[in-house]
Structure 1
Amino acid sequence: MTITESRPDLPALASQYAENGFVLVKGLLSKAEAAYYRETSHALLARLNRADDPTWAAARDMTEAPTTLRHLHDAQFYDAAFSRLLVDPRFTDVAAAVMGVENVQLHHTKLFVKPPENGSPFPLHQDYPFFPHTHHRVGAAIFHFDDAPEEKGCVRVIPGSHLAGPREHDESGGFHLPDVPFESAVPQPAEAGDVLFFTYLTVHGSGVNVSDQARTTWLVQYRDPADPPTVKTHDFSLGQGMMLRGFDPTGRTV
């Protein structure tokens, strides 16, 4: 797969990220690359043919009709295409810039496909309670492998919500924020090849895919290796601790 050059304004992205808690980087992947990863993602899910549905119980309260979701942890351990993308400097340079660090370490990845017509939503939440860290230098990148307009259940965020720090979450049916109106989150429609970066303190969620096409994304959670976790979680994730950029100054393995 041919890698195209893209040189975003890293200081500008970092400034926007610091203010709003997120930044949508347009065209980080080319349309051809995104199409390749979409095809690879769907082929991988079909090949593995796993039936588990990770829809949160709390998400079922957001809709009248049942919804479904397909996913896969650690896609990079099943197809080398994802391994290459993990260390692509176009991604890792932005991840380092928005966190304000030189070194970027993998926490975990998840491949998601929201099926057409009834693809499951995600209630508003922070990622913080799932894997809390000491200094909160933890972020996420959502790679869009196809277009994600609002009708496909695109990601929604509350700008500046990261500045208030960690919030108390309702743990029933998945960590979520039932007292924060879903409508208060701003939709972030994206095109194939766009990547949404956000801090794990940013309140975010996504709507139902009511379109006639699937929505395909890959979530990469990463951190500053010098930011120790306060709780040992997600240790089942394959490759956690892998260095994506720079080196680990602590010498720890996870």
Structure 2
Amino acid sequence: MDRREIQRRAKELEPWVNGFEFEGIRYAEGSDHGYLLSQDPADRARAFYEAFPGATRILELGALEGADTLALARQPGTSILGLEGREENLRRAEFVMEVNGATNVELRIADVETLDFATLGRFDAVLCAGLLYHVREPWALLKDAARVSAGIYLSTHYWGSSDGLETLDGYSVKHVREEHPEPQARGLSVDVRWLDRASLFAALENAGFVEIEVLHERKSAEVCDIVVVGRTRLGAQIRRFREDGFVNAGPVFADDTIARLKAGAIDLISRFTEHGHVSDDYWNYDVENEAPVLYRIHNLEKQDWAERELLFRPELAELAAAFVGSPVVPTAFALVLKEPKRAAGVPWHRDRANVAPHTVCNLSICLDTAGPENGCLEGVPGSHLLPDDIDVPEIRDGGPRVPVPSKVGDVIVHDVRLVHGSGPNPSDQWRRTIVIEFANPAIALPSLPS
């Protein structure tokens, strides 16, 4: 599309709220009300990705004319779904995407106050800039965002005065009539509610955001500005996984499913310990004057056991995908076990060092309570970010060595680059764990050594 065609198309789409530039040339003038884009889109996108560095699937609420949408889309490997309430705004946003060649953006007309968010699927994070104070029930919108994502980047206003506040659904709100000069920049409801500061934070917490970080705040007697990052429990776990390389994500399966897996594991183990079953998949070591010690059943998915289908439950792949930020497939299965009183420790190691951080992870489904007393997993936080050729014993000794205790049913997630190991099991308690490696199918993984 040449410059004349861009100019002609832009003219047809007037009036513009924000206007737009392409390759340094201004093709459409925007409103003279500077509050409409109080933060430069590139700066907002930069702050968004700093808050959610692994985000690849992003939901934008209130795309308007696509300024923030385009800035988000410039991050490689991302896909953006932008929702906008007005057809005329959507046409301008689509034009901006077309001119800039943004092919990783989908734009939809939607009223976020009536939309069933569950139909949208899951997202790594939500951008909600300049929208929350345009709806009648802002607390409901925050709950909708938390249901479909692990985090939110929220740029909004709150009411700074106690004058004129009413209580609604347990929140202090200011009734405001939408009277912005540009109709296309208003909300879809005539009367909306602004939360006060305390109610804004209460609404975030009630929505399920367990971590709330204030990035910017400007207070005044009435209209106050704030930018916050909110993370759900899963979002907070993802942040810790990216920083430390491991996290206990808690239970994924119901108790009866864990009971089935545990019963299946006991049966597999008894084939070796009680019935003398021998196989290349049953890894063991000899002990003088005693029976061999079984410590791993490899290729668990290939063993003949009734519970095998549980290894492929979608909840596991969905959890792994959330942590690595991409589609995943299972690439290795094993039952790792420590027999009471006899099991040795696992030497400190890395599962892999030939992949990038945050791209391949292991999920460990804990079938027994584990702690330092029976040889639970230990790791060195941040070691997954170190170079491929590090000296593992040196990193182990330099520490800190952090144990990862777990309860029955917990799922521990660790990056395959993590320097980790575990101690022996001198206790009278079993430690049995199903470990499944997940990786992006686009990554070529060399075979793991025996």
Cα distance, 1:40 vs. partner?
0.9
The one-letter code sitting in structure 2 at the alignment partner of 1:233 is S
Q: Distance in 2 between matches of 1:153 and 1:116?
A: 10
2:436 is aligned to 220
Highest relative contact order (Cα 8 Å, sep 6+), 1 or 2?
A: 1
Partner residue, 1:142: 364
Distance 2:407 2:317 in 1: 20
Q: TM-score, normalised by structure 1?
A: 0.72
SS of equivalent residue, structure 1 residue 208? coil
Contact 1:67–1:120 (Cα < 8 Å) also in 2:
no
Q: 5+ residue gaps in structure 1?
A: 1-6, 61-65, 170-176, 237-254
Deviations 1:191-215 (A, max 9, x none): 1100110111111111111110211
Alpha-carbon distance in 1 for matches of 2:427, 2:399: 19
Aligned position for 1:233: 447
1:90 is aligned to 315
Write out aligned runs for 1:28-43 (5 A): 28-43=252-267
Aligned pairs for 1:98-113 within 5 A: 98-101=323-326, 103-113=327-337
TM-superposition CA deviations, 1:125-145 (whole Å, max 9, x none): 11115xx33676111111101
Identity level (%): 27
CA contact (8 A) 2:381 2:400 kept: no
Provide the rounded CA distance (Å) in 1 between the counterparts of 2:321 and 2:236.
Answer: 13
TM-score by length of 2: 0.42
**Residues 16 and 22 of structure 1 are in contact (CA less than 8 Å); yes or no, is this contact kept in structure 2?**
yes
Kept after mapping to 1: 8 A contact 2:363/2:435: yes
Determine the C-alpha separation between the residues in 1 that align with 2:250 and 2:307. Answer: 21
Q: CA deviation at 1:235?
A: 9.4
- 1:19 alignment partner in structure 2: 243
Bigger strand share = 2
**Distance (whole Å) between structure 1 residues aligned to residue 398 and residue 404 of structure 2:** 14
Q: Would you say 1:68 and 2:293 are equivalent positions?
A: yes
In structure 2, stretches of 5+ residues that fail to align are: 1-149, 151-231
Q: Which has the higher helix share?
A: 2
Q: Cα distance, 1:67 vs. partner? A: 9.2
Number of residue pairs matched by the alignment: 209
Given the alignment of the two structures, is residue 207 of structure 1 paired with residue 432 of structure 2, yes or no?
A: no
Partner of 2:347: 123
How far apart, CA to CA, are the structure 2 residues paired with 1:39 and 1:225? 31
Q: Cα–Cα, structure 1 residues 34 and 110, in superposed 2: closer, same or farther, change >3 Å?
A: same
